[in-house]
A and B are shown apart, each in its own frame.
Chain A
Amino acid sequence: MSVASRSAAPPRLPPGLAGLLLPVGAVLAAFAVGAVAIMALGVPLGEALTAFWRGAFGNAYAISASINRAVALALVGTGFVFAARAGLTNVGGEGQIAVGGVAATAICLAPGIADLPLGLAFLVPLLGATLAGGVWGALAGFLKVRVGTNEVISTLLLSFIAVWLLYWSVQSEALLRQPMTSSATLPESLPIPVTTQVPLLTGSYSSPVTLGLPLLVVIAAVTALVLSRSIFGFQLKAVGLNPVAAARAGIAVGASIVTALFLAGAMGGLAGGLMLQGEQYSLKAGFSSGYGFDGLVVGLLARNSIAGVIAGALLFGFLRSGGISMEMGASVPSALIDVLQGLIVVTIAGAAYYVDRGDRK
């Protein structure tokens, strides 16, 4: 990678500003495409936007659902950024959410858990979900250190394995499937006991924002501090920039890699636990569907900034909710949201070259 040949690059925007303008520009451009598409589908734009607004912000329930979705995406995205600091790409969010959900369900339904005092009834399963996701992520880290397996490949494969483990666990009565009383018994787990549900901030099911929101705020703040101010954060960065030099400087490269992927996975697992215990209350096969990849995309959009993760997660959380409402209220297929999201990802990934060019010194 020679630097001299590109030293005569044209003048650029300051990297910070470009880093901000790029995602904002990509999102606006995608919205413009979306508006054109809606009109091309023959749906009055106003009608579609009204339906979108109702789904995303229309009432307390809609806003709460969007926020809960955003919390899950932000957790996966924060994990992605954590791993990215050590030069690792965690594409296993989907599976980490799945194992988190499975672990949370298993613990919630275990005898005695629902009777634990002091909120332990919901905290213990949540912790179990976090650990399960962490182990799932750390497995990829361990393989990278021991065998040299590319973490992109291993986290992706682990993701599929986890999704099918989830499917298996709700298909088999020996695992988590509810007892079959008739042929119409759905392949899902029993609902979890009320005491194991993550408490709602307002205490009312009509505005079901869970304790996950303050938890996310704390985790995001701590992560931002650890990455920017702590020795561990510095070590991760050193490992990411040049593992050989980091090792020579006395940094435990292997341990850093395993820890980074453990933490990334743990955040995915926590997201899974929150989704199950805070929103869905019983485990179904499509439980993690799309959240992992959306979270990954949020992590990418953020370009390594935790604030960016939050912004991206909110954007996608509200986009999805609004999209679903648009499909029901204005018969605009929610696939349009997929198109917008795909455009945003592709634009930002492609334009990263122009923004990062100046950083490659």
Chain B
Amino acid sequence: MTLELVAIFLASSFRLAIPLLFAATGELVSERAGVVNMSIEGMMLAGAFGGAIGAAMTGSPLLGLACAVLAVLPVALLQSVLTNTLRANQIVTGIGINILVLGLTTLGYREFFGARSRTTIPGFDAWPVPVLSDLPLVGPLFQQIGMAWLAIAIILAVGAVLTMTGLGITLRAVGENPQAVAKAGRSVLALRHGAVLFAGIMSALGGAFLSIGDIHTFTEGMTNGAGYLAITAVIFGSWKLGRTVMACLLFGAATALQFQLPALGLGIPNALLIMLPYLLAFLAVAGLVGRQTAPRALAQPYWP
């Protein structure tokens, strides 16, 4: 492997991990509060679609990003009301929402862009970090669009809030023992609604990264399992922020490796690399890699 290839590999690993970093961080917060959003996939898709439409109509990727967040709000709200207020099965509602969003965005895309056209839409340009981006080997790592740095900033902020603030402690307690939180006078429902909404907005950012950040176009069902991969990252990360971030980077690297295999001439089957994240997560939940500590009230509706 030449140094140049290593540099490209590092940079593309990071780039491919960014949508996962957004979505997985959002899902982590929500799962720590006790709500599983199978709909991360649909929420990312809604974000990708909203971002694409917004950017195409206004010509500004920044306004596109705002549209991505707007587009995800009804989806996140639906998920939250169904699972928290109506106490519906979290898995089933999530899968239903994914089917619904896939259908709606495909219909909307055909109406808006016309069937099968692949128009390029305005997207973000790279924001190279001065000095660092000129370094050998790691230089390409620092030639990402601004959203990459936004992801890192949000992750650091989430880490700080979760560990150092009262809100963070309460939020984690809601996922472990909601009854205790209710007894302490905090609203379980409000906290969980907030957590799902946060997961939705983060997913929208991740989805928008795919459409207006990375490839500057929208295609039907373009998230193609990225949402499930983000959920898998949270599981493999054992519901801890640091480990989840590492999982996202690892999954990004596995994806990047798929594209580099031909260049490297390695005999690893492509399918094995695509399967790797799910396999690792499965081994992890099977207790073969480290210990898993899911929040105790995960996926359980709260009855006062």
Contact = CB atoms under 8 A, between A and B. Distances in A.
B158 interface: no
Interface of A is mostly: helix
A350 B220 CA distance: 27
A351 B107 CA distance: 26
Interface stretch (A8-16, A275-283, A332-340): A332-340
Interface in A27-78: 37, 41
Interface in B252-304: 269-272, 274-275, 278-279, 281-282, 285-287, 292, 294, 298-299, 303-304
A345 B235 contact: no
Nearest to A6: B303
Interface stretch (B17-25, B95-103, B134-142): B95-103
Contacts of A353: 86-88
Interface string B85-129: 011110111011111111110110011000100000000000000
A182 to B, nearest CB: 20
B82 interface: yes
B9 interface: no
Given A1-B303, A335-B107, A346 B285 contact: no
A89 B36 CA distance: 14
Interface in A124-175: 143, 146-147, 149-150, 152-154, 156-158, 160-161, 164-165, 167-168, 171-172
Contacts of A349: 82, 88-89, 92-93, 96
A342 B269 contact: no
B271 A350 contact: no
B275 A168 contact: yes
A164 B285 contact: no
Interface in B31-52: 36
A223 to B, nearest CB: 21
Nearest to A167: B271
Interface string B224-260: 0100100010010000000000000000000000000
Contacts of B275: 160-161, 164-165, 168
Most B CB contacts (10 A, CB to CB) among A156, A165, A167, A351 go to A156
A352 interface: yes
Contact of B286 (A154, A167, A343, A346): A154
B78 interface: yes
Interface residues of B, number: 50
A338 B102 contact: yes
A153 B232 CA distance: 9
B82 A37 contact: no
A264 interface: no
B91 A152 contact: yes
Given A154-B282, A156-B228, A157-B282, A346 B100 contact: yes
B299 A152 contact: yes
Given A335-B106, A341-B100, A353-B86, 4 more contacts: A149-B286, A154-B286, A164-B271, A333-B107
Interface of B: 36, 78, 81-82, 86-89, 91-93, 95-104, 106-107, 110-111, 115, 220, 225, 228, 232, 235, 269-272, 274-275, 278-279, 281-282, 285-287, 292, 294, 298-299, 303-304
